[in-house]
Amino acid sequence: MASPIEHFLVMLSAAITKKHNDEDLAFYAKRVAQECSGAGFPGKDGFTAYDPNNKKIGKITDELDKKYKLFRYQKNDKP
């Protein structure tokens, strides 16, 4: 069973595909949804950035940021 966050990301992915016909962007949401089920559970690294699933989500976020030049990679910035 999917968590509410996973479900939202899958729905967001479908909305991106339907409204913008952008399968690549939609895939980012799906990739994060796949990692949500294991991220942020108590344990050795728990909710920290060191948790393996959180590391994967961070990497996906960085890829999205770089590809779409959202924050750190805006056009006026040098990567």
pLDDT value at residue 78: 54
**Assigned domain for 24 exists:** yes
54: closest CA among 66, 42, 33, 40? 40
5: closest CA among 43, 34, 27? 34
**Assigned domain for 75 exists:** no
pLDDT in tens, 10-65: 889 999 999 999 999 999 999 988 887 766 666 676 677 777 877 888 888 888 88
Contact 41, 32 (CB under 8 A): no
Domain around 32: 4-68
Sign of CA dihedral 26, 5, 33, 45: positive
**Assigned domain for 37 exists:** yes
**Assigned domain for 36 exists:** yes
- DSSP state letter for 56: H
Write out the two tokens for 18.
């339907």
Confidence of residue 71 (pLDDT cuts 50, 70, 90): confident
- Give the number of domains in the chain: 1
